[in-house]
């Protein structure tokens, strides 16, 4: 299976979700991208699975899925600086 994205780091810093995709760091305001992640505690946020292809991230305890394409499109359409 070909990897769409190489996700090398996922972390949370206060109200931000920080994601390293293809060696580039992106920062997202959690409340803007996911109500479930915004309401979750740190333990729930840190319990995630990256899809083998790098397509997306799944949080089993929260039943939440975010696609990398969707996150990157969000940044582009909202003109946020990564």
Question: For residue 79, what pLDDT band results from cuts at 50, 70 and 90?
Answer: low
- Which pLDDT score, from 0 to 100, does residue 1 have? 63
Q: What are the start-end ranges of the H helices in the chain?
A: 30-33, 35-39, 42-46, 68-78
Residue pLDDT, tens place only, 5-54: 999 999 999 899 999 999 999 999 999 999 999 999 999 999 999 998 88
Alpha carbons 79 and 26: distance in angstroms, whole number: 12
* 58 contacts 51 by C-beta, under 8 angstroms: yes
Question: For residue 58, what pLDDT band results from cuts at 50, 70 and 90?
Answer: very high
Please compute the mean of the pLDDT values over residues 50-72 and round it to a whole number.
Answer: 95
* CATH class of domain segment(s) 7-78: alpha beta
Alpha carbons 8 and 25: distance in angstroms, whole number: 10
Alpha carbons 12 and 6: distance in angstroms, whole number: 18
Please measure the distance between the N-terminal and C-terminal CA atoms of the chain and give it in whole angstroms: 28
Predicted model pTM = 0.86
Provide the residue ranges of all domains of the chain, joining segments of one domain with +. 7-78
């Amino acid at each position: 299976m070909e990897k769409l994205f190489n996700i090398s780091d996922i972390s949370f810093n206060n109200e931000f979700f920080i994601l390293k995709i293809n060696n580039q760091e992106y920062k997202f305001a959690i409340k803007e991208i996911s109500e479930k992640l915004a309401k979750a505690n740190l333990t729930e946020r840190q319990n995630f699975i990256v899809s083998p292809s790098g397509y997306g991230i799944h949080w089993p305890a929260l039943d939440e899925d975010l696609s990398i394409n969707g996150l990157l499109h969000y940044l582009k359409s909202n003109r946020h600086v990564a």
